[in-house]
Structure 1
Amino acid sequence: MNTLNTLRSAVRGRVTLPGDAGFEEARRPWNLAVDQPVAAVVEAADADDVAALVRHARSAGLSIATQPSGHGATGRTGGTVLLRTRRLDAVEIDPAARRARVGAGVPSGRLQAAAAPHGLTGLPGSSPVVSVTGVALGGGLSWFGRAHGWVADSVTAMDIVDADGRRRHIDAGTDPGLFWALRGGGGDFAVVTSLELALHPAPHLYGGRMLWPARHTAQVMDAYRLITAGAPDALTVWLDLLHFPGSDPMVAVDAAYLGDEHGARDLLRPLDGLPRPLSDSRRTMTAAELGGITAEPTDPGAGSSRAELLTVLDDAAAKSLPADPIAPLLSVQLRHLGGAFTKPSDSPHGPLPEPYALYMFGVPADPATAEAIAARQCALAGSVPVSGRKPFTFLNPAESAADAFSPATLDRLRRIKDDHDPHNVFRSNFPVHD
């Protein structure tokens, strides 16, 4: 405890130790189903404070787990100092160069709000409250990945603190190995304090959700397959099977299109032949409004997820997904991939040839429900053709880096870890040595 007590003299940010008021809240991850044991919590004041913490941890033999808010937490944090980076919240936009610089604590929605007035967009996912840096460290699937690839592909440089506590600015030229590892291999190699990333033109944007009773699922699935079979890279369409407590089962189609309303409606025309929807929120929107399409929760809550990559969405797969009620799951989502995801990528994931991602989610209110959720997820995954690997950013606490990367990629990541952090100062949600 003496070593931990000295944290207060080593950093300027807030230090919370076991027994302190607010410790339980400070260590809490976003996913309340995950128990996150830590030895201390440090909320860094700035990048210099991060460097001071790393130097202290290195000399004291401590490990650091870095999280802005704890999306993707796995509980593999026992004995670590939990570093919160929420106060690293600067956002700078260079509209002429189509570049942004964002601090490690910046959520996706803030970047979108800053870029949208310039007719630009980052590569946001479905939630506006997940950090840009956290998504990029995991590779990152986004609404516009079909047009622009992994979120990590748009990262052009990083400010980091290395395992010696030095602040460094790295890119593909200055430290190609470390830069490669951090663009999709997780936070096991350094603390990223800010990112520089390319922004993309979005002068016109159209999107929203259509929602039907579940009895129309087969027809909606047919329309979804028809749309995605010929969709241009500028269009991304997701299908959601939904069953919320207290409501009847439903099916939704979510869409985002980098273009105008006329072009979007033409591409989505197969939806017009379906029965009248319960709701239709599709409209012209700004890049700052994308986070509202799926209306995901913006406050912490308990969840249990499983993701798979589908090799094909053929007739058998399309029929098996809506064949039974999804309960006790709340949602089963199909994300259309393809496009730029299939192209070369100098990142740990590399190209993503699988055309669809399947994401299954439930709320484990008690042990029996948690067991039932896992069983339902297993049954659904077994009913469709999957590749066996998973997007790193979608791994759940029961999985590891080996579930996302090939053996050769994992070996390379481990060598970079050993070279850059031989004393294991950094411990990510999914360590490469696991």
Structure 2
Amino acid sequence: MTVLPTTILDELRTAVQGRTWFPSEPEFDEVHRPWNRAIDQSVLAVVEAADIADVVTLVNWARGRGLSIATQPTGHGATGRADDTILLRTTRLNRIDIDPAQRTATIGAGVKSGELQSAAEHGLTGLPGSSPVVTVAGVALGGGLSWFGRSFGWVGDSIRAFDVVDADGRARRVSATEDPDLFWALRGGGSELVIVTGLEVGLQAAPDVFGGRVLWSGDHARQVAEVFRTMTRAAPEALTLWLELLHFPGSGPMVAIDSTYLGDKEEARELMRPLDALPTPLSDSRAAMSVAELGSITAEPTDPGVGSSRAELLTSLDDGALDALLGSPIDPLLSVQVRHLGGALAQPTDNPHGALDEPYSVYMFGLPVTEEAAESIEQKQAVLARVLPASGRKPVTFLNPYEGLADALPGESLARLRRLKDERDPGRVFRGNFSIAD
């Protein structure tokens, strides 16, 4: 690990107005760690920018000393590539200004998905995913899948403009008319071209939302999975269904269907009537809800912890796929989630990923609390990936630390991103979770 001289670190602390932490200080061990505690990163210093001027100052300071910056608002998606960088936290860039008439929100790069859902008081919604604690900026830069993607497409496609600081230290705006090449890249091409400091987000009308989880004993997994498959074949775009295979420590296997519907309760229950023919569930949390409550459906952890994940996009969910998913216990995995995609996500779009042709995704997650557990989890993930009808690519936001942008993006998009990297950041001031150059 590289260690910067004390004199250089003192210059950094003097240059910025926000907080700084250095390796010799007691709090550093905590503040430099990513969200996934299974990932190690050895950074030179941590800066929490007080404002956009701080970001400009940091970029100029780092470029002048031949150093790189890795931006991690909350640490989600970290891959270990931040070693020997200045780690930038943008959590204090947290303004939220909602314009109900224009159906837009102007937000800072530190705003979390759940916080943007304050738009619910106006009958509006952003495009939230399953977790309320990831930042909107981070999700959008990876393209982003949401509960409402079947109705409105990629999260990145909802962004109307970005406020950025480029490698020359210039704060500027990027939109479809102001630097369209960079605008294209930022809606799914990762975080290696500029530092995003703010976004203008298009909001959608959501006067009525129905959602929740229906949970059964794992004994009924095949019945539930077959009903899930049947329902997804006829589901309107307003209805999103996720199948969850669960095995939590201290409990037996369970199976669930998580759902959201952009419409009223009666319509939702009618569309999901096939669930009524299944065995009596252990619980059913479905209800009319505010879009601000969507994070409660999957109840994902809101505090950092260890994790090991692998995702695939599936070309089908045929009998062979169900056999692969259900033929043996998911242990040592904690969960296997199958999302129904399609709808607006499958429509042509001008972003690095393009249309999402695959109708389903699978996300496999485990807790690598020991080296033996980590190896066992990875083996189980690899076995499932081999036997499932996977297309060979996946969304950027689903990549794990052992993968790269080439596992997610078409070759022509990656080549275009590499040209932009060479043009916009030849000095490699910015380092993302995934390298454009690899």
TM-score scaled by length of structure 2: 0.98
2:256 partner letter: A
Which of 397, 403, 408 is residue 404 of structure 1 equivalent to? Answer: 408
Aligned residues of 1:159 and 1:169 also touching (Cα < 8 A): yes
Q: C-alpha separation between the residues in 2 aligned to 1:294 and 1:357?
A: 16
After superposition, residues 203-282 of structure 1 pair within 5 angstroms as 203-282=207-286
In the alignment, is residue 415 of structure 1 matched against residue 419 of structure 2?
yes
Q: C-alpha separation between the residues in 2 aligned to 1:214 and 1:249?
A: 5
Q: C-alpha separation between the residues in 2 aligned to 1:427 and 1:286?
A: 37
In the alignment, is residue 323 of structure 1 matched against residue 327 of structure 2?
yes
Q: C-alpha separation between the residues in 2 aligned to 1:120 and 1:165?
A: 35
Aligned equivalent of 1:88: 93
Which of 393, 397, 401 is residue 393 of structure 1 equivalent to? Answer: 397
Aligned equivalent of 1:162: 166
Which deviations, in whole Å up to 9, do the C-alpha atoms of 1:64-97 show, x marking residues without a partner? 0001110000011111000000000000100000
Which deviations, in whole Å up to 9, do the C-alpha atoms of 1:207-251 show, x marking residues without a partner? 000000000000000110011000000110000000000011100
In the alignment, is residue 311 of structure 1 matched against residue 315 of structure 2?
yes
In the alignment, is residue 368 of structure 1 matched against residue 345 of structure 2?
no
Partner-residue secondary structure (3-state), 1:321:
helix
Partner-residue secondary structure (3-state), 1:430:
coil
After superposition, residues 282-361 of structure 1 pair within 5 angstroms as 282-361=286-365
Q: C-alpha separation between the residues in 1 aligned to 2:170 and 2:377?
A: 44
Which deviations, in whole Å up to 9, do the C-alpha atoms of 1:24-74 show, x marking residues without a partner? 111010000000110110000011111110111111111000011100000
Which of 144, 155, 161 is residue 140 of structure 1 equivalent to? Answer: 144
Q: C-alpha separation between the residues in 2 aligned to 1:413 and 1:4?
A: 33
Unaligned runs of 5+ in 1: none
Aligned equivalent of 1:36: 41
After superposition, residues 63-74 of structure 1 pair within 5 angstroms as 63-74=68-79
Deviation at 1:10, TM superposition (A): 1.3
In the alignment, is residue 104 of structure 1 matched against residue 109 of structure 2?
yes
Deviation at 1:287, TM superposition (A): 0.6
Partner-residue secondary structure (3-state), 1:6:
helix
Deviation at 1:161, TM superposition (A): 0.4
Q: C-alpha separation between the residues in 1 aligned to 2:414 and 2:136?
A: 24
Q: C-alpha separation between the residues in 2 aligned to 1:26 and 1:384?
A: 39
In the alignment, is residue 9 of structure 1 matched against residue 14 of structure 2?
yes
Partner-residue secondary structure (3-state), 2:156:
helix
TM-score scaled by length of structure 1: 0.99
Q: C-alpha separation between the residues in 2 aligned to 1:182 and 1:375?
A: 34
Q: C-alpha separation between the residues in 1 aligned to 2:141 and 2:84?
A: 23
Q: C-alpha separation between the residues in 1 aligned to 2:311 and 2:264?
A: 32
In the alignment, is residue 430 of structure 1 matched against residue 437 of structure 2?
no
Q: Which runs of 4+ in 1 moved over 4 A?
A: none
Q: C-alpha separation between the residues in 1 aligned to 2:60 and 2:98?
A: 31
Which deviations, in whole Å up to 9, do the C-alpha atoms of 1:126-149 show, x marking residues without a partner? 000000100000100000000000
- The count of aligned residue pairs is 433
In the alignment, is residue 25 of structure 1 matched against residue 21 of structure 2?
no
Aligned equivalent of 1:76: 81
Deviation at 1:3, TM superposition (A): 2.6
1:410 partner letter: L
Partner-residue secondary structure (3-state), 2:394:
coil
Deviation at 1:5, TM superposition (A): 2.8
Q: C-alpha separation between the residues in 2 aligned to 1:119 and 1:319?
A: 42
Partner-residue secondary structure (3-state), 1:415:
helix
Q: C-alpha separation between the residues in 1 aligned to 2:339 and 2:150?
A: 11
RMSD of aligned alpha carbons? 0.7
Deviation at 1:431, TM superposition (A): 1.2
Q: C-alpha separation between the residues in 1 aligned to 2:8 and 2:351?
A: 37
1:57 partner letter: A
Q: C-alpha separation between the residues in 2 aligned to 1:223 and 1:102?
A: 40
In the alignment, is residue 131 of structure 1 matched against residue 121 of structure 2?
no
Which of 179, 184, 188 is residue 184 of structure 1 equivalent to? Answer: 188
Unaligned runs of 5+ in 2: none
Aligned residues of 1:14 and 1:44 also touching (Cα < 8 A): yes
Identity over the aligned pairs, expressed in percent?
A: 62
